[in-house]
Amino acid sequence: MSSPTSLGLPQNSDISYKRIFGIAFPIILSSLAQNLISLADTIFLGNLGEVQLGAAALAVIFYQVVYMTVFGFGVGAQIMMARRLGQGQKHAIGRIFQHALWFCLAAALLCWILYQFFGESMIFSMVHTEDTGRAVLDYLNVRVYGFPFAFACVAFNAFYVGIARTRNISIATLVMGVVNVVLDYVLVFGVWGFPRMEMAGAALASVIAEICGLLTYILLTWFSGHRKTYSPFRRFPLQIKLVGSLLQLSYPVMIQYFLSFANYFLFFLFIESLGQHALAIANITRSMYVLFLIPTWGFASTTATLTSYLCGQGRTGDIMTVVKRCLLLVTICVSFIVVLYLPFNRQVLGIFTKDVLLAAESLAPSLVAILATYLMGVAQVVFNTILGRGRTKAGFFIEFANMVLYFLYGWIFIYIGHCSVAVAFGTEVCYTLGLLFISLGYIAIMRKRGKLDAAAV
């Protein structure tokens, strides 16, 4: 009889819908809590005025460009830890986690230094309106102090997703979300005797929330059985070779995430050229799009983890079953959110602004975002089977091709054509279709050549 693994499955057991959902649901909750930070910032700042609402989009996405680049390193660490779990090498997981943590902290220091030297000049060189640029800087000059705490959380997130024990992720990020929402209200508007800080207050609330999230991760890990099983806090000697292996696996994903969010930042710069009103509409739409996408990230991450795990066990024939089940579950979950949104769209959009016209003009772009969300669910699940196999370089080239399409669409239709915000969000549809068909093409070609087996990790 095969012995159970740490994933909670016997060696040859079927991966059921229940087990897939059990792994994905805490990731979905954590994504919801993580996105509550940017969502809360958008809601509270949107109620200050149109300038702050538009500036919040640029500031939050600029921060996410940096954060998601480091998060790409976490994806590589997650894949490696999941592979070691499938191979039964639990002793190696703590060493991988610790090296990932030190790398993330070093990256935080480097990013903070670069921002101090080049941040202000970079923002003003890209933003057309001085008021918007100043508001963006008011936010970022505080927000960057959260780098070490946010990046450390990336390492913990990779650890728990890699070992498929994601409950602690949801707990830590729910703490972050609750703290951020409360402090946003207190610091943005200046209630309960606190000063009215507006943009800087939203940023400070996010930094404090990330500190609380990291402390929660540390406490949960310290007092759990994972501390003994995987030795995440044990002192391991620095192994340059292991750091190199992590970087070799991760750098394509890091570049991929950087290009993806940098392109998204360019998208909002194109929108900003249309005026502050269009930028405000786009930020409301972005916030709704992020909410629609939350199940997608959960099942995409689960697909990558289970793919890597099955590859470690030599069960690549079971990957298609995982893909089909993840596709069905992500479609159901997205539909649940959409069904809740559509009958109450005016009330939901009205949360972001006191301007009734602004909320009404956000409806059409949000419908385009819903279409893109369904396509993204399919595309990301398929794409993450490639990453889970360790084919991160292939993932980078697929992403790069899509970024070219994304940029060209935005440049032609928004910057040159001055299209509506609804047409502008067609970039997301273009991107997801490209991601899906290029990924399917790559899988078909590699299968035909007999080279679809997992890469060494």
Read off the pLDDT of residues 181-227 as tens digits, 9 standing for 90 and up: 889 889 888 888 888 888 888 889 989 999 999 999 999 999 887 77
| Largest interatomic CA distance in the chain | 69
- pLDDT of 12 over the 60 cut: no
**Those residues with Cβ within 8 angstroms of residue 266's Cβ, 6 or more apart along the chain or in another chain:** 407, 410
CA distance 390 to 401: 19
Per-residue H/E/C for 5-31: CCCCCCCCCCCCHHHHHHHHHHHHHHH
Comparing C-alpha atoms, which of 41, 36, 69, 53 is closest to residue 284?
53
- pLDDT of 454 over the 70 cut: no
Contact between residue 39 and residue 287 where contact means Cβ atoms under 8 Å apart: yes
pLDDT at 290: 83
Contact between residue 392 and residue 253 where contact means Cβ atoms under 8 Å apart: yes
pTM (two decimals)? 0.75
222-225: long-range contacts at Cβ-Cβ below 8 A with a sequence spacing of 24 or more? 224/168
User: In this predicted model, which residue has the larger pLDDT, 159 or 310?
Assistant: 159
State CA 103 to chain mean position distance: 19
- H or E segment and range at residue 323: helix 319-341
By mean pLDDT, which of 7-16, 140-149, 243-252 is the weakest?
7-16
Up-side HSE of residue 272: CA atoms within 13 Å toward CB? 26
CA distance 141 to 139: 6
**Those residues with Cβ within 8 angstroms of residue 158's Cβ, 6 or more apart along the chain or in another chain:** 74, 75, 77, 78, 81, 97, 100
pLDDT at 457: 54
Contact between residue 169 and residue 26 where contact means Cβ atoms under 8 Å apart: yes
- pLDDT of 141 over the 50 cut: yes
CA distance 165 to 26: 9
Contact between residue 376 and residue 326 where contact means Cβ atoms under 8 Å apart: no
User: In this predicted model, which residue has the larger pLDDT, 8 or 269?
Assistant: 269
pLDDT tens digits, 329-374: 999 989 999 999 999 888 888 888 777 888 888 899 999 999 999 9
pLDDT at 1: 32
Please give the mean pLDDT across all residues of the chain. Answer: 83
Buried b (16+ CB within 10 A) or exposed e, 116-153: eeebbeebeebbebeebbbbbbbbbbbbbbbbbbbbbb
pLDDT > 90 in the chain, percent: 22
CA distance 407 to 419: 15
CA distance 132 to 72: 29
